[in-house]
Amino acid sequence: MPWTWRIEEIIYIRSIKNSHYFKKGLDENPPHGVHYPIVHGFLTLAIARKLGNTNHTIGHGVAEALSMWLTRGGYPDIKKNPDKFVDLLAKILQDRGMYVDDNVKKTIREALEKSIKIADKLIPDVSSVRHLDATSRAIANDAEDPFQILRNAGIDIEPELEEFRQFLAGISGKKIEPKKPKFPETKKAVEEELRKAGIPEEKVKVVAPRLATAVWLDKWFENAVKSYTYKKLGGVPLDEIKNLRNMILAKKHLLENAAKVMEEHWTRNNHVKIGERHVEGKMLPLVREHTPEMFEDLENIRKAVKEGKMSVEEALLRLHAELFVISKALESIGELTGTPEYLAPNPRPLGVSDRYVVTLDKVRKIHEKLRGTLRIYLR
C-alpha cells in the first residue's frame, strides 16, 4: 500500500498538520512518523498541564523535537532512547523560554511513556490498514462515537485513556477519581474475604459471585457519586448509566435461563452444562461483553450439585436471590434513564449519544433507595 497517501488520512491535529516532521514522514518507508501526531497531542497536553501554560510554544516545541528525531530513527528510536528524547525536548522548551527542571523532566518522561502506550495500542503495526483506518476515523472532527469506531476494529483504548486521565489529574493536584469497580475484581475480593472467614473452598466459588453482585452494584453507585469528573459534568453521563443497565440485563438474562435449565434438567438428575447455547441470539453479544465469567460460576454450581455438595433447591435459591437484587437494580436504573426531569445537558459530550447526564442528586437518591435491598447481602 502506498504510504504517501495513507499517512495523509491517518490523523488531523491542527497544531501539527503542517509541521516539518509530518511532511518528512511521508518519505519514510515504513513511515517512522506515523505515531507522531498521537504522541504529540498527549505529550503537549501533559506538559501544558504541568507548566500551567496553554500557549502554542509548548506544542511547537514538542513538534520540533519530534521532527529532529526523524533523522535519528523516528518513533522506534524514541521508544529505545526515551531519556535522550526527553533531554532534547527539555532543551528545546528551555530555549523557547519555558522553565524545565528535573521535576518537569520527570513528568515529561512519564507522559512520553503513557503517550507511547496509547499510540501503540491504536497503531500496533504501521502496515495494519484496519488500525490506521479506525484511528483516522475515530479522531476525525465528525466522528460521533470514536470509542465505538475503535471497538469495532478490535481496539479497546479506554483503559489507556483512563490511565492518562488519572495521570493528568495527578499533575494538576486534582482529586484522583475512584476506580470504577469491575465485577471480576470485586468477585475475587469477596472470595478472599470468605476464605478469611473460614468458608470451605467449594462454597466460596458458589457463594462469592452472588455476594459480589451486591458489592459491585453498591460500589458502582458510591464511586459515581464521589467522582470528580462527574461532579464537574453535573452528573453521570447517560451512556454510562445505559452501559450499567446492559451489564445487568446480561446477568439477568443468563441467570433466568440458567434457572430454567436447573428446573427442567437438574431436578431430574440430568446435570446439563450451561453455556452459550442457552443464551438467546440477540442477548449473546451483551453476555459475551459483560458477563463471560458467569459461565464458570454456573459450572461451579453444577459441579457442586452433581457431587452432592449442594442440592438443586439450594442452587435455585441462590440464583433467585441474585435475580431479586438484579431486578431491583434494573428498576432503579429504569427510573434514572426514563425520567426526563432527572437529565441535564452534558457540557462535554463525546458524541450524539452522549448529550445528557443524570444529575448526581438523583443518582445519590436512587443509590440510597437501592441500598435497602443491597444491605441484606452487604452485612
pLDDT in tens, 5-61: 222 333 333 333 334 444 444 444 445 566 777 888 888 888 888 887 666 778 888
In terms of average pLDDT, the best of 132-136, 238-242, 259-263 is: 259-263
| CA–CA separation, 226 and 222 (whole Å) | 6
Q: What is the largest CA-CA distance in the chain?
A: 81
Examine the pLDDT at 329 and tell me if it is beyond 80: yes
Closest CA to 296 of 365, 206, 175, 217: 206
Asked whether 33 and 77 are in contact (CB, 8 A), the reply is no
Asked whether 304 and 202 are in contact (CB, 8 A), the reply is yes
Asked whether 55 and 144 are in contact (CB, 8 A), the reply is no
**Rg for the chain, CA atoms, rounded:** 25
183: its cell numbers: 465485577
Residues 6+ apart with CB under 8 A from 129: 1
Q: In this predicted structure, what is the pLDDT of residue 54?
A: 62
| CA–CA separation, 61 and 69 (whole Å) | 13
| CA–CA separation, 354 and 348 (whole Å) | 9
* 237: three-class secondary structure by DSSP: strand
- Give 88-98 pLDDT, tens digit per residue: 999 998 888 77
In terms of average pLDDT, the best of 78-82, 176-180, 241-245, 273-277 is: 273-277
| CA–CA separation, 347 and 233 (whole Å) | 6
* 293: three-class secondary structure by DSSP: coil
Asked whether 11 and 38 are in contact (CB, 8 A), the reply is yes
Closest CA to 374 of 218, 188, 194: 218
| CA–CA separation, 312 and 263 (whole Å) | 8
Sign of CA dihedral 124, 130, 132, 134: negative
* Residue that has been written with the C-alpha cell 459534568 in this structure: 233
